[in-house]
A and B are shown apart, each in its own frame.
Chain A
């Protein structure tokens, strides 16, 4: 097959439904993965840290994509579920459990907690559900720091030892980056495949029209709770990775603000596909770093302030992020993923204009 994928056709359903369908796609994918694996040799330690954190964030946003984008259930408490996962992993790790126990346990505990807050889904729908997730987010730190110190460290938080992966301590930035990369790749594949499964189709049907989907046999209450559960599983994994990366967890790390940022990333990237989560996380991370790098200079030039603090950079990032979210909603509600799809279509049918 040629570099331009025109005239691609398939001779079996399996070939058409595959995630990677043509040789050029396969080559691009391999090249992309090699680049990702080789990133530590290309980046400074600081940028590698940024990339690692982006990977951790990506797992949480992928979960959000399932809950919000696929199933249409607004979740404004994702960072609380990330926090539950982080504390679970940290607590288990401090009792001597390894990576293979901590990450799945973090996912399951976060999932279990999310069910408690998904329960009102039995009675209500739409935006009202977002309120219960806000409640989860607000209650999380209040409850967490009052639980016995032996469990989750109370107000002091918990330190976390580097994990052992196949007998090797993953205590260098590179090792953690690769760990996060592998998990994020699995998470992406999981989210992409979930969308193609029976459950994913139920999520989509419910998203598009809940009454119609219940008529064709989707158990709405169960599917809604499942959507919360699936999203929170990813959040739990993200939390465990976060604990391993930062090596310290405390309730101040998991704020409502972070949840709001997750949702913002998803909106900017595009709600309807896991690719949107990736694009959103990359775009907002790049935006944040851009503001971080240039914001100080810009502000000092504008107002003559010489001592630009981290708080000012944070504020400026918020102004830009808030503005970007509103602009995306007004002018490109389908997000960057839609732009990407248009670009690919233009490439495929070139030299003809538009598909």
Chain B
């Protein structure tokens, strides 16, 4: 029974990773940009939520809507000033630019909000539901449901709508997409607005009722193995990979951590990431197009 509880917690935590991974995937899927600054975007959205709901004291839902608008505006701003200008440049420049944005956002957040931690509004109900002997964290469970619904909706969007398929064409190849009349600019703009919107959702699910600080950005690098395991192009894969990694982490922390002074669960996602890269570089559901040697 205790084991089932461990697995259940793993699934719920994993879906939180999943939603952050989803924001990576959405940006990649629609613009072929791996945004390493995604963690910082999540952090920035969280600061917006804090700003509107707690600092300015707006009603919760209005504050959340304002924060969502602010996050999307931030995404549009980053896309407009940096990544639009890099369309057609080598992947290398794009990754570097995302590192520049990472440094910039982290510095700006520290400058405006300071390094201290602050409370984050309680968006979802506190406490846990009891089902028989099992405890289910309410916030995480609601978050998990939202994650799954969102990822299904996005999956439909990317595979069953005209607009979504256009975005997929951009992820395949910029030049080809352009020559077929697909606007790469429009695609990157949509990608960033979707991605930052999702980052805001991730921030709320991740932080609801806890504390917010600069280290919130670390979720970005924790979600990177998840995005990679699921496959960078796979919207559904992100949540599934999140579950796998969450469960793996929970099991590692239960069975291996006592032997390794807590290292196993921390190292597990990254070891898995290296193995994925070695054995199946495209991830579980990614497109098989990574060039082989």
Genuine A/B complex: yes
**Given A131-B228, A214-B293, A319-B104; A267-B111 close (CB under 8 Å):** no
Please tell me if the beta carbons of A322 and B96 are within 8 angstroms of each other in the complex.
no
Partner of A329, one of B86, B91, B105, B278: B86
CA distance A330 to B221 in the complex (A): 25
A interface, over-half SS: helix
Please tell me if the beta carbons of A138 and B92 are within 8 angstroms of each other in the complex.
no
Please tell me if the beta carbons of A326 and B101 are within 8 angstroms of each other in the complex.
yes
Please tell me if the beta carbons of B224 and A131 are within 8 angstroms of each other in the complex.
yes
Of the listed stretches B121-129, B163-171, B189-197, B259-267, name the one at the interface; the rest are far from the partner chain: B259-267
Q: Does A279 contact B (CB under 8 A)?
A: no
Partner of B95, one of A130, A214, A221: A130
**Given A135-B270, A326-B97; A316-B92 close (CB under 8 Å):** no
B274 cross-chain contacts in A, Cβ below 8 A: 117, 120, 132, 135
Across the interface, name the chain B residue whose C-beta is closest to A318.
Answer: B107
Please tell me if the beta carbons of B104 and A316 are within 8 angstroms of each other in the complex.
no
Please tell me if the beta carbons of B290 and A138 are within 8 angstroms of each other in the complex.
no
A74 cross-chain contacts in B, Cβ below 8 A: 92, 95
Of the listed stretches A102-110, A139-147, A243-251, name the one at the interface; the rest are far from the partner chain: A139-147
Please tell me if the beta carbons of A260 and B290 are within 8 angstroms of each other in the complex.
no
Q: What is the interface size of chain A, counting residues whose CB is below 8 A from a CB of the partner? A: 52
**Given A122-B293, A123-B278, A146-B261; A319-B107 close (CB under 8 Å):** yes
Please tell me if the beta carbons of A72 and B92 are within 8 angstroms of each other in the complex.
yes
A124 cross-chain contacts in B, Cβ below 8 A: 277, 281, 290
B interface, over-half SS: helix
Interface string of B71-106 (1 = CB under 8 A from A): 000000000011001100101110111011111111
Across the interface, name the chain B residue whose C-beta is closest to A125.
Answer: B291
- Residue in A127, A128, A323 with the greatest tally of chain B CB atoms within 10 Å: A128
Across the interface, name the chain B residue whose C-beta is closest to A144.
Answer: B263
Please tell me if the beta carbons of A323 and B290 are within 8 angstroms of each other in the complex.
no
Q: Does A315 contact B (CB under 8 A)?
A: yes
Partner of B290, one of A125, A211, A312: A125
Q: Does A280 contact B (CB under 8 A)?
A: no
Q: Does B178 contact A (CB under 8 A)?
A: no
**Given A128-B281, A318-B107; A325-B100 close (CB under 8 Å):** yes
B278 cross-chain contacts in A, Cβ below 8 A: 119-120, 122-123
Please tell me if the beta carbons of A322 and B221 are within 8 angstroms of each other in the complex.
no
CB distance from B25 to the nearest CB of A (A): 14
B149 cross-chain contacts in A, Cβ below 8 A: none
Across the interface, name the chain B residue whose C-beta is closest to A126.
Answer: B91
Partner of A322, one of B95, B100, B115, B291: B100
Q: Does A67 contact B (CB under 8 A)?
A: no
CA distance A122 to B82 in the complex (A): 32
Across the interface, name the chain A residue whose C-beta is closest to B277.
Answer: A120
Partner of B104, one of A117, A220, A326: A326
Across the interface, name the chain A residue whose C-beta is closest to B109.
Answer: A315
CB distance from A66 to the nearest CB of B (A): 16
CB distance from B24 to the nearest CB of A (A): 11
Across the interface, name the chain A residue whose C-beta is closest to B260.
Answer: A146
Q: A residues engaging B (CB < 8 A)?
A: 72, 74, 76, 117, 119-120, 122-128, 130-132, 134-135, 138-139, 142-143, 146, 210-211, 214, 220-221, 256, 260-261, 263-264, 267, 311-312, 314-326, 329-330, 333
Beyond the given A127-B95, A321-B103, A333-B89, please list 4 additional residue pairs across the A-B interface where CB-CB is below 8 A.
Answer: A123-B293, A128-B277, A131-B228, A312-B111
A sample of 23 inter-chain contacts (CB < 8 A) reads A74-B95, A76-B99, A117-B274, A120-B277, A122-B278, A124-B290, A138-B270, A139-B267, A142-B266, A143-B263, A146-B260, A146-B261, A211-B291, A260-B103, A311-B110, A311-B114, A314-B107, A315-B106, A319-B107, A321-B103, A326-B82, A326-B97, A333-B93
Q: B residues engaging A (CB < 8 A)?
A: 34, 81-82, 85-86, 89, 91-93, 95-97, 99-111, 114-115, 221, 224-225, 228, 260-263, 266-267, 270-271, 273-274, 277-279, 281, 290-293
